[in-house]
Amino acid sequence: MLEATALGDGWILRHESDTLPASVPGCVHTDLLAAGVIPDPFLGQGESEVAWVGRRDWTYERELTGSSASSAQEQTDLVFDGLDTVAEISLDGRPLGTVRNMHRSYRFDVTGLSGLLSVRFVSAYAEAEAVRGRLGERPAAYAEPYQYVRKMACSFGWDWGPTLVTAGIWRPVRLEHWSTARIARVRPLVTVEEGVGVVELAVDVERTRVEVPLAVEATVGGVRARAEVDGAHGVVRLRVPDAELWWPRGYGEQPLYDVELRLLSKGATLDVWRRRIGFRSVELDRRSDAHGTGFTLVVNGERLFARGVNWIPDDVFPSRITRERYRERLEQAAGAGVDLVRIWGGGLYESEDFYDACDELGLLVWQDFPFACAAYPEEQPLRGEVEAEARENVVRLMPHPSLVLWNGNNENLWGFRDWEWEPRLAGDSWGEGYYLGVLPRVVAELDPTRPYTAGSPWSGSWRHHPNDPAHGTHHSWEVWNREDYADYRLSVPRFVAEFGWQAPPAYATLRRALPGETLAPDSPGMLQHQKADDGNGKLERGLARHFAVPDGDFDRWHYLTQVNQARAVAAGIEHWRSHWPVCAGTVVWQLNDCWPVTSWAAVDGDGREKPLYHELKRLYADRLLTLQEEDGGLVLAAVNQGAEDWTGTMTLRRMSVEGEVLGQAAVELAAGRRAVARVGVPHELTPAGPKEYLVADANPDADGLRALYFPVPDREVLYPTPRFEVALTPGGITVTARTLVRDLLLQADRLDPEARADRGLVTLLPGEEVTIGVRGWKTPDAETARSALYCVEPTR
């Protein structure tokens, strides 16, 4: 039976003559930080103070004693699940190999060897610059040379992330002792055929003795099957009658089945492979229609509007992300109504812990291959590395039912066409051969059960512009970069895979990250933690279109920029969801952050929810009510993504800002399951000018669903001075409005860094009240609680 010995202990980190204890898994930065050699790069301007780390070479060492290396088994392998990134491995002075890919695992035969195990990491900069020197310059969105090395691209910085170029043994390392044969790879094809779950396990084995007969035996769902191994390969097929289907969250349950495969020789078990699977079918409907070319996910025959978020690595030092942290962040996603998580191409193939959580929570996973925002050379040594990593990770992730889509890259096909890459490349390779050649071939060969798309955005072929909203996936960034978020409503893309708006993190996150700093939008630490090109300028211009920009009042600026982020994303999602099934999904940029930063995230780098997060709960709920401008009038749309019909009476009220009802009507709406119903708002109820607005309320059994429409921007609305009363209640506070109170927000973390409110922005009409639950705080008095309440105020 194969035996494994973990090698996580006993490592040191060496740089020239200096040594210090090392943690494995880990990285140089975290070891230096633990030893007090460097400041925390997340705090203040610490990022700049540790830039030198990524330019140095580092060596990890550990004694591999005879007792740990020796075994009664015939062969001993040294296995690294992940090395970041370019390294030379030796044992007792004997070279074992050289590696240059963070996204792969490595195995070396060390039978009978012992002594000093050394892993010498060369700076990723040195490797990337050497490859660039051999293959020539390629254009990219950023100046750092990330496209020349197979490493997490955002280590080199991004428009939301720090430049912290890591090195280290970032995933576990172990010795494996085995005899006769071991399981080298299992490729599970999981399908559903007329209600029967089918599992086909293609097994590759490595042998020490070729003459010994081998067999494989597998079990799943109470079914057992056996097959002989022919040479180094075997296939065992199992049929599970009445298999329960795995569904995305909100569409059904997520039953998971344990699969066990044993490698046998003369009745004895040599090795065991265990995974969990789920039975479901997935298709991507890309048919042409009157609106262009569709992009609709279909799971178990059910067509979905994907309620998505983009995922970036949750820490710039990925070895720090625990199973519990993955679970917490993904539970936050599920709690916001999300049913799809796109793993963005500037990051990683995540750990099993990520996909396990998605399997359990019913979160669909869209997996980018790790290519982003650059022209990637296709020559060696990169081409071989790309195919090897793709083959390994496609097979590694195949068991997970949550994984529903492989995507070739992020924005590179678009970049070639629109970012002046084509003339600069002058015929040089740039990655097209990966996205339209290598990767679809690998997926088709190894994982034909899942769809593949060449990139995001991508229209499906070069016949259309790569980012044509009428064809395939679309990234909407002109709105954030140059326009008002109201412009989201000017088009109906088939699938919006990226869009978003920036806001600073929670106040307590800023206070922790910038200790002692007098906070201002342009204070030194705030600028260090704002990575977007002209980010503050875009924030201010976007704010000025809707609010009077506060002058010198950081707290007010902080609140209003967070309101503007939530309003911007709401403008897009409400419009696009109301146009289902033409538009079949929105994937917000982004769910999470990898450090404390002003960014597009809904959950900040300390895990605190911004107002956007709570707004997503409303926007991604099964039922959504929205008022939209169309053809010179207003339309009320009832969006129903639930499994039951939604029929009810909607009350429309034309209101004055002082609270007077100027007109009222009741309209009937009937939205079938997974459908949208629309009705025109009577002209006499359409509000006009700075003193009126429209309220649409669903019938009382519809969970208080409401839509609001103001005909002019907030800076023009003649809001009354807000008046409200605050009372402490068990587990929170109750606020009672005496006037119109627009976008009330309790920033509980201002009262206690551990405090979290259970809701975000809420608008109250005169006489209405809301109870806001709070956990993790030491209950203050009502006036102290009131000091953490913010709302929109009249322009002065």
Of the pLDDT bands very low, low, confident and very high (cuts 50, 70, 90), residue 15 is confident
pLDDT tens digits along 302-361: 999 999 999 999 999 999 999 999 999 999 999 999 999 999 999 999 999 999 999 999
Both tokens of 555, joined, read: 């707290």
Task: Give the pLDDT confidence score for residue 207 in this predicted structure.
Answer: 96
Residue 405 to residue 282: CA distance in whole angstroms:
9
Does residue 572 register a pLDDT over 80? yes
In total, the chain counts a number of residues equal to 796
What residues does each domain of the chain span?
A: 3-176, 180-277, 284-619, 623-716, 724-790
Does residue 675 register a pLDDT over 80? yes
Task: Give the pLDDT confidence score for residue 762 in this predicted structure.
Answer: 97
Rounded to an integer, what is the distance from CA 612 to the centroid of its chain? 15
Of the pLDDT bands very low, low, confident and very high (cuts 50, 70, 90), residue 69 is low
**Average pLDDT, stretch 108-120?**
97
Of the pLDDT bands very low, low, confident and very high (cuts 50, 70, 90), residue 210 is confident
Residue 260 to residue 224: CA distance in whole angstroms:
10
pLDDT tens digits along 142-160: 999 999 999 999 999 999 9
Strand partners, 374: 140
Residue 136 to residue 350: CA distance in whole angstroms:
31
pLDDT tens digits along 592-642: 999 999 999 999 999 999 999 999 999 999 999 999 999 889 999 999 999
56 Cβ partners below 8 Å, 6+ apart?
15, 123
- Among 380, 410, 621, 376, CA closest to 497: 410
SS3 content of the chain, % helix, strand, coil (to 5): 25, 35, 40
428 Cβ partners below 8 Å, 6+ apart?
136, 138, 375, 377
pLDDT tens digits along 167-186: 999 999 999 999 999 999 99
Out of 47, 360, 378, 411, the active site residue is 411
Residue/partner pairs of 235-239 with CB below 8 Å, 24 or more apart: 235/200, 235/201, 235/202, 235/203, 236/200, 236/201, 236/203, 236/261, 237/198, 237/199, 237/200, 237/201, 238/198, 238/199, 238/200, 238/201, 239/196, 239/197, 239/198
Helix (H, G, I), strand (E, B) or coil at 315: coil
Which residue has 């700076």 as its token pair?
123
Is residue 137 exposed (0-12), middle (13-18) or buried (19+ Cβ within 10 Å)? middle
How many other CB atoms are there within 10 angstroms of residue 74's CB atom? Answer: 14
CB 218 within 8 A of CB 199: yes
For domain 623-716, is the CATH number 2.60.40.10? yes
Residue 428 to residue 447: CA distance in whole angstroms:
30
pLDDT tens digits along 88-104: 999 999 999 999 999 99
Which residue has 């998605």 as its token pair?
358
Is residue 353 exposed (0-12), middle (13-18) or buried (19+ Cβ within 10 Å)? middle
Residue 482 to residue 191: CA distance in whole angstroms:
46
Which DSSP string do the residues of 351-387 spell out, in sequence order?
Answer: PHHHHHHHHHHT-EEEEE-S-BSBPPP-STTHHHHHH
Please give the angle made by the CA atoms of 696, 697 and 700, to the nearest 5 degrees.
Answer: 170
Residue 417 to residue 471: CA distance in whole angstroms:
16
**How many helices and strands (H and E) does the chain possess?**
18, 44
411 is catalytic: yes
Residue 433 to residue 445: CA distance in whole angstroms:
17
Both tokens of 110, joined, read: 């060390």
- Among 45, 599, 41, CA closest to 608: 599
**Average pLDDT, stretch 15-23?**
91
Both tokens of 160, joined, read: 């939301």
pTM score, whole prediction: 0.97
Residue 614 to residue 788: CA distance in whole angstroms:
17
Q: 298 phi and psi, to 5 degrees?
A: -130, 115
Class of 284-619 per CATH? Answer: alpha beta
How many other CB atoms are there within 10 angstroms of residue 436's CB atom? Answer: 17
Which residue has 């051969």 as its token pair?
433
Which DSSP string do the residues of 395-421 spell out, in sequence order?
Answer: HHHTT-TTEEEEE--BSHHHHHHHSSH
CB 374 within 8 A of CB 252: no
Task: Give the pLDDT confidence score for residue 70 in this predicted structure.
Answer: 67
- CA distances (Å), origin 150, targets 7, 99, 128, 153, 571: 25, 10, 9, 8, 38
- The CA radius of gyration of the chain, in Å to the nearest whole number, is 28
Residue 586 to residue 340: CA distance in whole angstroms:
9
pLDDT tens digits along 377-411: 999 999 999 999 999 999 999 999 999 999 999 99
Does residue 702 register a pLDDT over 70? no
Does residue 124 register a pLDDT over 80? yes
Task: Give the pLDDT confidence score for residue 704 in this predicted structure.
Answer: 79
CB 404 within 8 A of CB 450: yes
Residue/partner pairs of 751-759 with CB below 8 Å, 24 or more apart: 751/777, 751/780, 751/784, 751/785, 751/787, 751/788, 752/776, 752/777, 752/778, 753/508, 753/511, 753/512, 756/608, 756/609, 757/732, 758/732, 759/614
Domains 180-277 and 623-716 share a fold: yes
**Average pLDDT, stretch 248-267?**
97
Q: How many CA atoms lie within 13 A of 583 on its CB side?
A: 23
Residue 439 to residue 387: CA distance in whole angstroms:
7
Of the pLDDT bands very low, low, confident and very high (cuts 50, 70, 90), residue 68 is low
Of the pLDDT bands very low, low, confident and very high (cuts 50, 70, 90), residue 41 is very high
Residue 300 to residue 630: CA distance in whole angstroms:
35
Of the pLDDT bands very low, low, confident and very high (cuts 50, 70, 90), residue 67 is low
Q: What percent of the chain has pLDDT over 90?
A: 95
How many other CB atoms are there within 10 angstroms of residue 420's CB atom? Answer: 11
Tell me which CATH code domain 3-176 carries.
Answer: 2.60.120.260
Q: 595 phi and psi, to 5 degrees?
A: -170, 170
- Region class of 534: left (phi > 0), else alpha (psi between -120 and 50), else beta: left
Q: How many CA atoms lie within 13 A of 121 on its CB side?
A: 28
Residue 645 to residue 253: CA distance in whole angstroms:
20
Q: What is the mean pLDDT of the chain?
A: 96
**Average pLDDT, stretch 759-771?**
97
Class of 180-277 per CATH? Answer: mainly beta
pLDDT tens digits along 717-749: 999 999 999 999 999 999 999 999 999 999 999
Does residue 703 register a pLDDT over 80? no
- CA distances (Å), origin 227, targets 235, 263, 277, 458, 714: 7, 10, 20, 43, 70
- Among 271, 112, 266, CA closest to 207: 271
Which DSSP string do the residues of 589-640 spell out, in sequence order?
Answer: S-S--SSS-BBS-SB-TTSPBPHHHHHHHHHTSSEEEEEEEETTEEEEEEEE
- Among 730, 745, 393, CA closest to 560: 745
